[in-house]
A and B are shown apart, each in its own frame.
Chain A
Amino acid sequence: MLKRKMIKNFGWPLKTAMREIEVTRLYPEVMMELPENERGIHELDATTCIGCASCARVCPNSCIEMVHFKYGNPLKNKKMQFPQVDYGRCMFCGLCVDECPVECLKMGKKVTMAGWERKDIIKGPDFLATKRFSAKEVADLEAEAKRIAAEKAAAKKAAAKEKPAKEGNAAGSAKKKVDAKPAEGGAA
């Protein structure tokens, strides 16, 4: 009786082996399907990042460094500083993504990042940015930023000249800022 049961058990692996049981062997020929929520390599929307460095501050491994990148929005990100991620240290926890105030940092489905040297897996904004401005757009935006700065400077000068009428001027410069807003939005 027992023997018969044991023989039945030996049949079990055979039965299972008949089925389609490939799981991890597919890689790298076939990539397994990753879910929408996958926390893979970061995706940066350079057109909206404000360079606040919140992501760099919250990272438990300090793998984010803020570096210069050309194709962002100079109106919002005055110093043009964008995150660069050291994937040698990143553990894909996603805290940086949650912390970003303008939701421009996401994590995508891309997961391959191997390189020959350690410095190869430090990925700058150029690699991370999925959305960026073209050189021309940046030039336009920079001109816009310059114009706004010049206007502000002019307003300041005017304010310095008319010292007694301080309050009126302050209101004036505030108004100018409001004027600048639509232009900025349009460019983005």
Chain B
Amino acid sequence: MTNASEVLSSIQSAFPGAVLDSRVESDRRLWATIDSKKILDVCKHLTNKLNFDHYSGSAGVDWIARNEMEVVEIMASHGAHKVVAMLKVKTPRENPSVKSLTGLYWNANWYEREIWEMFGINFEGHPELYPLLLSDQLIGSWPWRKDFKGYPDLTTGERAVAITTPEGYTEYRFPPTPAEVEAGTVVAERPKYPTFREREEREIKSDSEMIMHLGPQHAMVPGPFLLDVLVEGERVKKGFLDVGYIHKGIEKIMENRTWLQGIVYTDRMCYVASLSNNECYCGAVEKILGLEVPERAQYIRVILEELSRIQSHLIGTGEFLTLVAGVGYAPWQYMIIDRERIISLIESVTGARLTHTFVRFGGVRNDLPDDFAEKCKTTLPYIKSRVNEFIELFAQDAIYQKRMENVGVLSAEDAKRVGIAGPALRASGVAYDMRVEDPILVYPDLDFKVIVGTKGDCADRVDCRLREILESIHIIEQCLDRIPAGPIKPEAKIPKKVPAGEAYYRVEDPRGEMGMYVISDGGDKPYRVKVRGPFYATLQTLPPLLEGVYIADVVAIAGSMDGCPSEADR
């Protein structure tokens, strides 16, 4: 099995002088600074020779003190080995520019677009360097640079000036005040690019084609995103996605909050997966601090994260059914009722229903209440029987099967190529689960199967999710049997300042691979937090998946992905 030092020596021997700096953190983590001229070759080498077939994302970092910027490429493998390579490429702060990886990895597109709009780092060879999350007014201010002065407050209605457009519509503009121009908070020169509207209208080739809007508001999807489809007759020819409607800038907010306060913000990225987000952030910080988590706390974390997975899958499946079937046939209510029991279980430990702020550096906030195991003993078998019922229900319903089978098929190769994760990837038959790939806490001691599907269609994705609930119940039962007595927090006080360092930590979110890249400069606040969310990757794969399907299948495919735009936008 390949380990990190072997990967490093392989790069070094293939490209002498390309590795400027390197650190082998463990068998699974390699940090290397690569010569910016050689990055494409190194990535090619990793993919072709060393099985790094999973481009997991990239992050931008502004090192203002060193007067340079960094792009960190996160590379992993779909099961061939367990090394995650963090390859850094440096570029000066004036006119920052690095080579684009879009030619090698299809899914590098969005990650690089995001870095461009946030940091202003140009990607040479990127086919469509357009804004992704930010609104057009903000482009050019590069808000995630460390010297960003803040944007003028445009929220007050009094500043709005009504303008009549040539088409006769009234639009409102917010001109900056002279003071703001002087302070430099206004973008002096905005880059030129075609707007989203222009880009999609460019694609209309004949009179028989038109663009149909789905969203940004949809009654059932928990967060807003705009999905425009170019249709000809009943068929979709192309899909366009516009995201960023609930971009909250959480990564930037966390740079301005203390380490402890950051936990609160991870909750708000995705409220149905707040426990795994907590875990991801705290795990990364624990890695930098070198903290050991007491065993009891580890078990409590696993129990709660699995409970959270169950409730997330229940709500995800319920939402999906409402999307495909309206109200006539919708076990949504049943799933919500069942989910309520899981929520009460979690609430009895954490004290909150959705935003738990429960995991702490080196431990957890509360111990399990005395009657927790007992409550689990009544609730879990009930959920198990219900889920089995749901599985049976779907398996024997002819309408459901006609509607779902062989719709939105994602083959294993394609699924790997587009970088999708979680149940959507496993439904295609790729057993890729962070609980096995990058085991944390007590997961290595627990016995569980990674659920995989066979075909990768909508029915498979839903089925995978339901069967994962059964697997989670199995995990929780084991944990309850084994959980030892003992402390739930480290004895020493957690320091307010975290020593300088960096860490990348991955957990299996209900939606897939959630990774956080945390950098500390030794202060009481994080220097940079990058969230690599699972739904970001899933959302990116939607447009190609929709090409050629019927309009009626669009919601089925989008719904079967179990989305949370809030986490994609952050």
Are A and B genuine complex partners?
A: yes
- Which residue in chain B gives the minimum CB-CB distance to A12? B393
Identify which of A8, A21, A38 contacts B347 (C-beta below 8 A): A38
Task: Give the residue of B264, B351, B396 whose beta carbon is less than 8 angstroms from that of A8.
Answer: B396
* A23 to B337 alpha-carbon distance, docked (Å): 7
**Cross-interface CB contact of B257 among A6, A8, A60, A92, cutoff 8 Å:** A60
Within 8 A of A (CB), among B276-314: none
- Asked whether A167 is an interface residue with its Cβ less than 8 Å from the other chain, the reply is no
Interface of B toward A, CB cutoff 8 Å? 257-258, 260-261, 264-265, 267, 333-334, 336-337, 340, 344, 347-352, 355, 357, 360, 365-366, 369, 389, 393, 396-399
On chain A, the residues within 8 Å of B264 by CB distance are 60, 91, 93, 95
Q: Provide the residues of chain A in CB contact with B257, threshold 8 Å.
A: 60
Contact with B along A16-50 (1 / 0, CB 8 A): 10000101100000000011111100000000000
Known: A3-B398, A37-B351. 10 other contacts (CB 8 A): A2-B398, A6-B399, A23-B336, A35-B348, A36-B348, A36-B369, A37-B347, A58-B258, A94-B351, A95-B357
Instruction: Evaluate contact between B397 and A6: CB separation under 8 angstroms.
Output: yes
Chain B contact residues: helix, strand, loop or mixed? helix
- Known contacts: A35-B347, A37-B349. The answer to whether A91 contacts B397 by CB under 8 A is no
Distance from B399 Cβ to chain A, minimum over Cβ atoms (Å): 7
- Give the contacts of A135-155 with B (CB-CB under 8 A): none
* Residue numbers in B under 8 Å from A179 (CB-CB): none
Q: Which of B261, B337, B397 contacts A58 (CB 8 A)?
A: B261
Q: Say yes or no for A5: interface residue by CB 8 A criterion.
A: yes
Chain A residues in the interface with B (C-beta under 8 A): 2-3, 5-6, 8-9, 12, 16, 21, 23-24, 34-39, 58, 60, 91-95, 98, 107
Q: How far is the CB of B533 from chain A (nearest CB, A)?
A: 21
A131 → chain B, closest Cβ, in Å?
Answer: 21
Q: Is the CB of A37 within 8 A of B398?
A: no
Contact B398 A6, beta carbon cutoff 8 Å: yes
In the complex the two chains form, is B355's CB within 8 Å of A91's CB?
Answer: yes
Q: Pull 20 A–B residue pairs with CB atoms less than 8 Å apart, ordered by A.
A: A3-B398, A5-B397, A6-B396, A6-B399, A9-B393, A12-B393, A21-B333, A21-B337, A34-B347, A35-B347, A35-B348, A37-B347, A38-B347, A39-B352, A58-B261, A60-B264, A60-B265, A92-B352, A93-B267, A98-B360
Which residues from chain B contact A107 at a C-beta distance below 8 Å?
A: 351
Q: How far is the CB of B360 from chain A (nearest CB, A)?
A: 8
Complex contacts, B360 vs chain A, CB 8 Å: 98
Q: Is the CB of A23 within 8 A of B340?
A: yes
Q: A23-B337, A35-B369, A107-B351 are in contact. Are A94 and B357 (CB under 8 A)?
A: yes
Q: Give every chain B residue within 8 A of A58 (Cβ-Cβ).
A: 258, 260-261
CB distance from B85 to the nearest CB of A (A): 34
Please give the distance in Å from A16's CB to the nearest CB on chain B.
6
Residues of A within 8 A of B389 (CB): 12
Count of A-B contacts judged by CB separation below 8 Å? 69
Task: Point out the residues of chain A lying under 8 angstroms from B261, CB to CB.
Answer: 58, 60, 95
Rounded to whole Å, the gap between the CB of B396 and the closest CB of chain A is 4
Is there contact, CB below 8 Å, between B365 and A94?
yes
User: CA–CA, A147 to B93, complex, Å?
Assistant: 65
Report the nearest B residue to A32, measured CB to CB: B344
Q: Is the CB of A93 within 8 A of B397?
A: no
Partner of A37, one of B258, B260, B366, B397: B366
> Contacts A9-B396, A36-B369, A94-B365: A16 and B334 contacting too (C-beta < 8 A)?
yes
**Cβ-defined contact, B396 with A5, below 8 A:** yes
* B333 surroundings in chain A (CB, below 8 A): 21
Cα of A8 to Cα of B393 in the assembled complex, Å: 9
A2 to B360, CA, bound (A): 52
Measured in the bound complex, the distance between the Cα atoms of B398 and A5 in whole Å is 8
Chain B residue contacts of A21, Cβ below 8 A: 333, 337
Among B337, B357, B398, which residue has its beta carbon within 8 angstroms of that of A93? Answer: B357
B56 to chain A, nearest CB (A): 29
The residue on B at minimum CB distance from A9 is: B397
Q: B351 to chain A: which residues have CB within 8 Å? A: 35, 37-39, 94, 107
**In the complex, A172→B450 CA distance in Å?**
72
- Please indicate which of the listed interface residues A3, A21, A24, A37 has the most CB atoms of chain B within 10 Å of its own CB: A37
Complex Cα distance A169/B134, Å? 68
Least CB distance from A103 to B in Å reads 14
Chain B residues positioned under 8 Å from A5 (CB to CB): 396-398
How far, in whole Å, are A58 and B257 apart by their CA atoms in the complex? 10
How long is the Cα–Cα vector from A95 to B278 in the complex, in angstroms?
14
Closest-CB distance, B565 to chain A (whole angstroms): 21
Smallest CB separation, B152 vs chain A (Å): 22
Tell me the complex Cα distance, A34–B350, Å: 12
Most buried by A among B267, B351, B366: B351
- Nearest residue (CB) in A for B394 is A9
Min CB–CB distance A57 → chain B (angstroms): 9
Determine how close the nearest CB of chain A comes to the CB of B344; give it in whole angstroms. Answer: 8
In angstroms, Cα B340 to Cα A12, docked, is 20
Cα of A35 to Cα of B375 in the assembled complex, Å: 12
A107 to B347 Cα, complex, angstroms? 14
Complex Cα–Cα for A92 and B267 (A): 12
Task: Give every chain A residue within 8 A of B344 (Cβ-Cβ).
Answer: 35
Closest CB in chain B relative to A55 CB, distance in Å: 13
A16 cross-chain contacts in B, Cβ below 8 A: 334
Q: Given A6-B399, A58-B261, A60-B257, verify A37-B337 contact (CB < 8 Å).
A: no
Q: Which residues of B contact A60 (CB under 8 A)?
A: 257, 261, 264-265
Query: Inside 8 A of B336's CB, which chain A residues have their CB?
Result: 23
In whole angstroms, how far apart are the Cα atoms of A2 and B399 in the complex?
10
List residues of chain A with CB within 8 A of the CB of B369. Answer: 35-37
How distant is the Cα of A39 from the Cα of B348 in the complex, in angstroms?
10
- The smallest beta-carbon distance between B285 and chain A, in angstroms, is 15
On chain B, the residues within 8 Å of A91 by CB distance are 264, 355
Whole-angstrom distance between the alpha carbons of A93 and B268 in the complex?
A: 11
> Whole-angstrom distance from the CB of B369 to the nearest CB of chain A?
6
Q: Roughly how many angstroms separate A107 CA and B365 CA in the complex, as a whole number?
A: 13
CA distance A114 to B148 in the complex (A): 39
Chain B hits for A34, CB < 8 A:
347
Query: Which of chain B's residues has its CB closest to A24's CB?
Result: B340
- Minimum CB–CB distance from A87 to chain B (whole Å) comes to 15
B368 (CB) vs chain A CBs: closest residue: A37
**How close is A111's CB to chain B, nearest CB, in angstroms?**
11
* Nearest-CB residue, chain A, relative to B334: A16
